[in-house]
């Protein structure tokens, strides 16, 4: 049995606090305002530290589906790197970028995400990787019965927009990767920041959805089973996506630092067990206790598409 633990949307803040002078006339001010007011949710470092401490227990691999930093500041990257390096001393970690990690065109040009996190993205089949500004994707790790595949959907956008894009080149490479014998004989576990399935109105999808979700689902259509894991929405959701050969479990993790009364939102992590024969057990979520205490499991019932 191979156990994968899933966290997302760490939104690590600069330990020195936000430098407001650098935010003025900058897209980052909208991101910070969003963090403080729009979502009405509180980020607590204590929650994040507790989640990162607990997530490795009993697991074989941890995946992080983006928004690791909050405003792509170098100081945030350094703080996030420290947390993930500490985690990686206990367990193998794979990450994908979120829109907050590639916040501005300058962040992309600096290849800041790749500079800090490429050690978590060493592919076993590097010949399939496209050289994207956020790094080399798709990246695949062949581990026991699982093929863990990291995709990048993070691109900088104007203020108030956070739509994701995989791009034709990456989707084509991904489809070819899925056909590789080493991947085909395993259960695919696909990581992407933006939601691959999104039933919200078109206007909302245009604001912060995944532009090429449909071509991605087309590439997934030949699979008979697998997991597609994402973040971005800051809420735990699970759906069963039918394919022509079977179905996939599409599951999101909430923000790993969030303090919120709802169990669907509050800080925590998901766990997925894959048997040696490749079958996937029902995902389980572990949510941080109400009074800041122990984690407790909650069931995540799927809805079907």
> Quick one: which of 28, 157, 186, 232 contacts Fe ion (CB under 5 A)?
232
> Quick one: which of 72, 99, 252, 270 contacts Fe ion (CB under 5 A)?
99
Cα 176 to Cα 29: distance, rounded to the nearest angstrom:
40
> Quick one: which of 54, 67, 101, 212 contacts Fe ion (CB under 5 A)?
67
Of 177 and 253, the one with the shorter C-beta distance to Fe ion is 253
Site for Fe ion in 100-159 (CB under 5 A): none
Of 9 and 76, the one with the shorter C-beta distance to Fe ion is 9
Interface with Fe ion: number of residues (CB under 5 A): 5
By CB under 5 A, which span of 113-121, 128-136, 210-218, 230-238 interacts with Fe ion? Answer: 230-238
Provide, rounded to whole angstroms, the least separation between the CB of residue 80 and Fe ion: 13
Q: Which of 151, 77, 143 is nearest to 121 (CA)?
A: 151
By CB under 5 A, which span of 97-105, 125-133, 242-250, 256-264 interacts with Fe ion? Answer: 97-105
In which region does residue 246 sit, left (phi positive, over 0), alpha (psi from -120 to 50) or beta (all else)? left
Provide, rounded to whole angstroms, the least separation between the CB of residue 99 and Fe ion: 4
Contact between 98 and Fe ion by CB under 5 A: the answer reads: yes
Of 129 and 192, the one with the shorter C-beta distance to Fe ion is 192
Q: Indicate the length of the chain as a whole number.
A: 305
> Quick one: which of 5, 6, 9, 72 contacts Fe ion (CB under 5 A)?
9
Shortest-Cβ-distance residue relative to Fe ion:
67
Of 154 and 171, the one with the shorter C-beta distance to Fe ion is 154
Contact between 236 and Fe ion by CB under 5 A: the answer reads: no
Binding site for Fe ion (CB under 5 A): 9, 67, 98-99, 232
């Amino acid at each position: 049995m191979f156990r994968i633990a899933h966290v997302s949307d760490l939104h690590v803040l600069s330990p020195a606090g936000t430098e407001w002078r650098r935010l003025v006339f900058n897209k980052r001010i909208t991101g910070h305002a969003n963090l403080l007011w729009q979502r009405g949710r509180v980020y607590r470092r204590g929650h994040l530290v507790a989640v990162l401490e607990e997530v490795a227990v009993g697991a074989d691999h941890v995946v992080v589906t983006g928004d690791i930093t909050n405003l792509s500041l170098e100081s945030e990257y350094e703080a996030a790197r420290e947390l993930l390096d500490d985690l990686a001393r206990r367990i193998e970690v794979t990450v994908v970028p979120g829109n907050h990690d590639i916040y501005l065109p300058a962040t992309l040009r600096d290849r800041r995400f790749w500079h800090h996190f490429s050690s978590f993205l060493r592919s076993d089949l590097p010949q399939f990787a496209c050289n994207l500004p956020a790094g080399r994707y798709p990246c695949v790790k062949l581990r026991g019965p699982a093929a863990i595949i990291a995709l990048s959907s993070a691109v900088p956008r104007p203020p108030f927009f956070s739509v994701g894009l995989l791009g034709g080149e990456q989707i084509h490479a991904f489809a070819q990767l899925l056909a590789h014998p080493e991947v085909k004989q395993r259960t695919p576990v696909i990581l992407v920041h933006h939601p691959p399935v999104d039933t919200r109105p078109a206007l909302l999808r245009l604001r912060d959805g995944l532009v090429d979700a449909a071509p991605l689902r087309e590439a997934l259509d030949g699979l008979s089973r697998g997991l597609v894991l994402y973040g971005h929405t800051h809420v735990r959701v699970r759906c069963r996506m039918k394919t022509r050969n079977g179905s996939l479990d599409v599951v999101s993790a909430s923000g790993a630092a969030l303090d919120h009364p709802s169990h669907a939102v509050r800080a925590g992590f998901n766990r997925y067990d894959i048997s040696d024969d490749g079958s996937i057990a029902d995902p389980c979520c572990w949510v941080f206790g109400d009074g800041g205490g122990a984690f407790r499991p909650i069931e995540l019932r799927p809805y079907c598409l």
